[in-house]
Structure 1
Amino acid sequence: MAQLAETYACVPSTERGRGILISGDSKSNSILYCNGRSVIIRYLDRPLEVKVYGEHAYQATVARYSPNGEWIASADVSGTVRIWGAYNDFVLKKEFKVLTGRIDDLQWSADGQRIVASGDGKGKSLVRAFMWDSGTNVGEFDGHSKRILSCAFKPTRPFRIVTCGEDFLVNFYEGPPFKFKLSHRDHSNFVNCVRFSPDGNKFITVSSDKRGILYDAKTGDKVGELSSEDGHTGSIYAVSWSPDGKQIVTVSADKTAKIWEISEDGSNGKVIKTLTSPGSGGIDDMLVGCLWQNDFIVTVSLGGTISLFSASNPDNDPLLLSGHMKNIASLAVIGSSPRLILSSSYDGLIVKWIQGVGYSGRLDRKVNGQIKCFTAVDEEIVSSGFDNKVWRSSFLHGDQLGDAESIDVGNQPKDLSLALLSPELALVCTDSGVSLLRGTNVVSTIDLGFSVSACVITPDGSEAIVGGQDGKLHMYSIEGDSLTEVAVLEKHRGAITVIRYSPDVSMFASGDSNREAIVWDRASHEVKLKNMLYHTARINCLGWSPDNKMVATGSLDTCVIIYDIEKPASSRITVKGAHLGGVYGVSFIDEQNVVSSGEDACIRVWRLS
């Protein structure tokens, strides 16, 4: 069987020009954020401990713990709120259709009985407050004309609800049942976030006009403002109170987070510390989310990097947690001790992980662009995008990639393979044929006369196998710069999606779009392991164990299946639901550990027993 040993989590989904509202639970010291259809639970003191909830049918937008920490309410772009157990296998308690459009924020009442949600919708339905167990409405929310970006529930009685949004308004409601009391138009741009102080005496709003305004929580009257001295120079996207309610943290498009001292009466706020996250200072370093939890100050950048500052020692360098935001299309395991895992996502990001440690840095590519094919050896990374070019970058185990050189192969690469014993030799396949590369030169381009879908080259560069859309495997011997066809193998009933030689090159395995994998003997061309038909959708990726005894396949059906070559295919190990949306990368780290990646932008290590 296979047990989940480690998860390297995706980062929060972000959007330029918008804040994200992350939340947490101070008792378990965990935080919640959303990426795609997943809600991610991460523990600040145990970064490798990650849980993922993937039951939303649409992209999830925000999630919050109930006050007792037992339940989580999460919302999505369809206007649906799901309430589920934080511990007991995420059992679903209730599901409600709350708004007609996207939900941007939701909050629980302090007694855990009511939930308010705000966002986008038709007509007046931009906010709803309802009982958590029955979905019954508990108020009427008039007064907004545009998308409501944030809402907040006063944590003490008498209950109040405040909302703010793209119409520059801050609206105050009394209840329950809640009804409109008053409205403020003190801001001159989008009001991005509103939060009550923990004692329920005041609340603060922050806006794209670079200002923060303080209000009395009982009456809703304005009482003060954050000082403009040493203030933010860009839009303020989010705000969070310290547990004692005496300070706040704000994050801004100016790439800084600021800690403010708030006066007792709420009449003013002064900056006492400016936090800057390490980064290149580019657009991705704009800060869009924050949370003050226990002694952690958490900030999130537009690029998804989570910085964990110590509130008691804010001068210390933050712990950085990062990763992918989009589908991880490929993996490479290199080095022996420690084992390095390199992953690439199609948005062009390459991330470095260390087994047992987790995130170890992003590799800074000199070229920006999407990555379609990706492979790596100890000293070099080779990738191709959608620009018909193959890029070679030297990799010296730092965070910088060396100079990148590119070769234009004339057509969009579909697959690429390196001759591992002399990696300057590479085979690249395009729609109609293959190109042989030596270093940064195309030495030959051959039209094969059929639609090509996958390829692989032996470590010594003497043989290549090319797979076609017709399901046939064409074997070629390579002499000099020319290919000579030596055999055509027919067994697959779908387009070939992946081909890999075993490490000792005595066998090779192939997978197809009709969900079947086959292991072949290289010398005799006989089928070595057949009936590998246990996936329910296209096979995307395939990997061999270092001892040549096992093959792992990953599929669009979200599963990873591990076969033992010496045993019948029916005695396989299946990991169900390995990655929400499909598995796109799989590789053996060693004989006991398999690493996989997928559509959910996460990486998981499975321990075989």
Structure 2
Amino acid sequence: MAKLVETFACVPSTERGRGILISGDPKSHSILYCNGRSVLIRSLRRPQDVEVYGEHGYPVTVARYSPNGEWIASADVSGTVRIWGTHNGFVLKNEFRVLAGRIDDLQWSSDGLRIAASGDGKGKSFVRAFVWDSGNTVGDFDGHSRRVLSCAFKPTRPFRIATCGEDFLVNFYDGPPFKFHSSHREHTNFVNCIRFSPDGSKFITGSSDKKGMIYDGKTGEKIGELASKDGHEGSIYAVSWSPDGKRVLTVSADKSAKVWDISEDGSVGSVVKTLISFGSGGAESMLVGCLWQNDNLITVSLCGTICLFAEDDFDKPPLQLSGHTKNVTALAVLGTNQKTILSSSYDGLIVKWVQGVGYCSKLQMKDGTKIKRLVANENSIILSGFDNKVWRIPLEDGEFGDADHIDIGHQPLDVSIAVDSPESTVLVSYDSGVVLLKGHIEILSKIELGFPVAASAISPDGREAIVGGQDGKLHVYSVSGDSLKEEAVLEKHRGAITVIRYSPDLTMFTSGDANREAVVWDRETKQVKLNNMVFHTARINSMGWSPDSKRVATGSIDTCVIVYEVDKPASSRTTVRNAHLGGVNAVSFIDDFTVASSGEDACVRSWLLDPP
């Protein structure tokens, strides 16, 4: 058996030019946000406590707790809403196809009986309200001609629904059953977000015209607006009321978050505090989401970073929660005692995690560099992407230094580093050969091998290299200076080699292929030491050895991590099913009984194995 120890969570998926919606449950002090096909439930008191719901078939856009906190309704780009329970595991209550296209916002009525959803109706209805347990529609929502970006349910009786969207309109509906009441066009650009105050007396809108408008909650008439003095200089993407309804939090493309005092009659909103302002920061510093929950003010930037501010001290630096937004392609563990994990994602982000702590720091590669492979020793990180470059990033006291790179003239397929060799020799393979690098990624030699290359590895001592072919053969070479000499060709695999890893004690190596098979080899005799490792149902993406060389872990696109003990039959394996939604991209041991994994769901997890 393997027990989940920790999840280093991804952050919300974001989209430039669009706001995102986060929500939460004030009673449990948890928040909900979406990334890919996952809904993440995250504690504000213990941000390391994360649950992930991954049952949607399409990317999820919004999720919200029911008023009693027993249920969550989540919606996706296909127009589907799923309603599921949060206790004793995730239990699906209902699933409804609500709109013909993407759902952008979703709200429960305060009695928990109805749900309103808005989004892209593909030229038809852009808003729908329905009974939560039957799916029956409760009203007609005419009046919009384009995508409806946000909707809000009046939290007090008589119920009302307010909507806004890309047609610059703010519409107001009576009900239930709901019917059109009135429409307003005070905004001159997309209206991105609409929210009722907790007592239902007012509602507010935020727009790409940089303005916020305040409306009467009973009649829908405009009664005021946010003052232009000290106001936002960019699109307002999200708004959120304080629990007492006296203040509002807004976030904007101008990279600032502001707290506003709202007058009792709603006629004016004035800035009390600019919480955060990234000033000259890049586009990733734009703020696209916010939530005021209990005594926490939460903002989300375009790069996904979540900032938690304390209501009782606006000047206190916020707690920052960061991580990946895209699939995590590679892992490296630095030192068995430090328990530091480096992870890299397709979008060029490298994140440093510490066990028991979580997020520590990050480095965003510039110029659109995409990361495919990452290896590291105590002094540096070597990585490659989808161009012809190999990068080296020095590690100075565990912190990222300035990156430098070299162009090898071919797209790298695989990268490995001889961590115990004096010059930290690096082996890079490409489609027809390999490149040997030394030190600060200087080219030692480029060698054409005469067969289609698929994967490679250099031994930790730098004296041997193994290159796997598209034909499933393993070519073993001795390394001398800048040259390779072929010593053996091993045949066992029936598919292209995908990964090769040496054991830490240098007595063995393991290989995996696209035909789902893994093999452990004796390094000295070149004989198979453990075979019949064919328990994955799809391509093996990654392999890793325990520090004591007694166990090997494999990760596959079948979502599973499998751990084998090399001195026992393969049938005595430990399998972690559904380790990562969409597939496992990387595995690495942290210590003899703890495995780290990462995958398409943009998360990194650690698993504790049962000791023998």
Specify the TM-score bucket, using the shorter chain as the normaliser. over 0.9
CA distance in 1, matches of 2:61, 2:72: 13
CA distance in 2, matches of 1:110, 1:364: 42
- 3-state DSSP class of the match of 2:501? strand
CA distance in 1, matches of 2:215, 2:445: 72
Over 3 Å counting, the alpha-carbon distance change for 1:581 and 1:397 in structure 2 is farther
CA distance in 2, matches of 1:360, 1:337: 16
Aligned-residue offset at 1:367? 5.7
1:415 aligns with 2:441: no
CA distance in 1, matches of 2:595, 2:403: 30
CA distance in 1, matches of 2:42, 2:115: 23
Show the 5 A alignment for 1:2-81.
2-81=2-81
Show the 5 A alignment for 1:238-387.
238-276=238-276, 281-365=281-365, 368-387=368-387
Over 3 Å counting, the alpha-carbon distance change for 1:143 and 1:513 in structure 2 is same
- 3-state DSSP class of the match of 1:344? strand
Aligned-residue offset at 1:459? 1.7
Aligned-residue offset at 1:338? 2.7
CA distance in 2, matches of 1:534, 1:546: 23
Show the 5 A alignment for 1:42-191.
42-191=42-191
- 3-state DSSP class of the match of 2:591? coil
Q: Write the letter of the residue equivalent to 2:36.
A: G
Aligned-residue offset at 1:403? 2.6
Residue segments in structure 1 that go unaligned for 5+ positions in a row: none
CA distance in 2, matches of 1:278, 1:123: 39
Q: Write out per-residue CA displacement over residues 219-245 of structure 1, whole angstroms, 9 at most, x where no aligned residue.
A: 001000111110011100000000111
Normalised to the residue count of structure 1, the TM-score between the two structures is 0.98
Normalised to the residue count of structure 2, the TM-score between the two structures is 0.98
CA distance in 1, matches of 2:513, 2:438: 29
**What's the counterpart of residue 508 of structure 2?**
507
Q: Write out per-residue CA displacement over residues 262-298 of structure 1, whole angstroms, 9 at most, x where no aligned residue.
A: 1111111110010116697111010000000011101
Over 3 Å counting, the alpha-carbon distance change for 1:336 and 1:532 in structure 2 is closer
1:403 aligns with 2:402: yes
Contact in 2 for aligned 1:583/1:599 (Cα 8 Å): yes
Name which of structure 1's ranges 324-333 and 471-480 shifts more when overlaid on structure 2: 471-480
Contact in 2 for aligned 1:124/1:142 (Cα 8 Å): no
CA distance in 1, matches of 2:603, 2:278: 23
Residue segments in structure 2 that go unaligned for 5+ positions in a row: none
CA distance in 2, matches of 1:556, 1:410: 30
CA distance in 2, matches of 1:215, 1:135: 30
Q: Write the letter of the residue equivalent to 1:237.
A: Y
Contact in 1 for aligned 2:120/2:126 (Cα 8 Å): yes
Contact in 1 for aligned 2:256/2:278 (Cα 8 Å): no
Name which of structure 1's ranges 323-332 and 270-279 shifts more when overlaid on structure 2: 270-279
**What's the counterpart of residue 535 of structure 1?**
536
Name which of structure 1's ranges 269-278 and 73-82 shifts more when overlaid on structure 2: 269-278
CA distance in 2, matches of 1:595, 1:547: 16
Q: Write the letter of the residue equivalent to 1:446.
A: I
Q: Write the letter of the residue equivalent to 1:590.
A: D
Paired-residue identity, %:
71
Name which of structure 1's ranges 450-459 and 414-423 shifts more when overlaid on structure 2: 414-423
Q: Write the letter of the residue equivalent to 1:462.
A: R
Q: Write out per-residue CA displacement over residues 7-60 of structure 1, whole angstroms, 9 at most, x where no aligned residue.
A: 011010000000001100000011111100000100000111000000000010
Q: Write out per-residue CA displacement over residues 546-588 of structure 1, whole angstroms, 9 at most, x where no aligned residue.
A: 0000000000000000101111111111000000000001010
CA distance in 1, matches of 2:360, 2:601: 20
**What's the counterpart of residue 574 of structure 1?**
575
Contact in 2 for aligned 1:22/1:291 (Cα 8 Å): yes
Aligned-residue offset at 1:441? 2.3
**What's the counterpart of residue 449 of structure 1?**
450
CA distance in 2, matches of 1:449, 1:338: 42
Q: Write out per-residue CA displacement over residues 412-442 of structure 1, whole angstroms, 9 at most, x where no aligned residue.
A: 0000111112354111100011111123322
Q: Write the letter of the residue equivalent to 2:87.
A: Y
Contact in 1 for aligned 2:255/2:279 (Cα 8 Å): no
Aligned-residue offset at 1:364? 4.7
- 3-state DSSP class of the match of 1:183? strand
- 3-state DSSP class of the match of 1:46? coil
Aligned-residue offset at 1:395? 1.2
Aligned-residue offset at 1:397? 3.9
Q: Write the letter of the residue equivalent to 2:301.
A: S
Q: Write the letter of the residue equivalent to 1:29.
A: H
CA distance in 2, matches of 1:277, 1:45: 25
1:496 aligns with 2:505: no
**Number of residue pairs the alignment of both structures matches:** 608
Contact in 2 for aligned 1:124/1:144 (Cα 8 Å): no
**What's the counterpart of residue 475 of structure 1?**
476
Q: Write the letter of the residue equivalent to 2:417.
A: L
**What's the counterpart of residue 461 of structure 1?**
462
CA distance in 2, matches of 1:194, 1:402: 44
**What's the counterpart of residue 603 of structure 1?**
604
**What's the counterpart of residue 485 of structure 2?**
484
Q: Write the letter of the residue equivalent to 1:484.
A: K
- 3-state DSSP class of the match of 2:370? coil
**What's the counterpart of residue 560 of structure 1?**
561
- 3-state DSSP class of the match of 1:284? helix
CA distance in 2, matches of 1:454, 1:63: 41
Aligned-residue offset at 1:605? 0.7
Contact in 2 for aligned 1:593/1:608 (Cα 8 Å): yes
CA distance in 1, matches of 2:484, 2:178: 76
Aligned-residue offset at 1:88? 2.7
**What's the counterpart of residue 235 of structure 1?**
235
Q: Write out per-residue CA displacement over residues 145-188 of structure 1, whole angstroms, 9 at most, x where no aligned residue.
A: 00000000000000000000000000000011100000000000
Q: Write the letter of the residue equivalent to 1:456.
A: A
Q: Write out per-residue CA displacement over residues 293-348 of structure 1, whole angstroms, 9 at most, x where no aligned residue.
A: 01110100000000000011111000000100001000000034431100000110
Contact in 2 for aligned 1:277/1:307 (Cα 8 Å): no
CA RMSD of aligned residues (A): 1.2
Q: Write the letter of the residue equivalent to 1:523.
A: E
Contact in 2 for aligned 1:366/1:404 (Cα 8 Å): no
Name which of structure 1's ranges 536-545 and 476-485 shifts more when overlaid on structure 2: 476-485
Contact in 2 for aligned 1:373/1:415 (Cα 8 Å): yes
Contact in 2 for aligned 1:372/1:383 (Cα 8 Å): yes
Name which of structure 1's ranges 406-415 and 434-443 shifts more when overlaid on structure 2: 434-443
CA distance in 2, matches of 1:87, 1:158: 32
Contact in 1 for aligned 2:242/2:293 (Cα 8 Å): yes
Over 3 Å counting, the alpha-carbon distance change for 1:397 and 1:185 in structure 2 is farther
Contact in 1 for aligned 2:336/2:590 (Cα 8 Å): no
Q: Write the letter of the residue equivalent to 1:316.
A: K
CA distance in 1, matches of 2:324, 2:93: 31
Aligned-residue offset at 1:404? 2.1
CA distance in 2, matches of 1:574, 1:387: 35
Name which of structure 1's ranges 422-431 and 509-518 shifts more when overlaid on structure 2: 422-431
Contact in 2 for aligned 1:366/1:403 (Cα 8 Å): no
Contact in 2 for aligned 1:10/1:323 (Cα 8 Å): yes
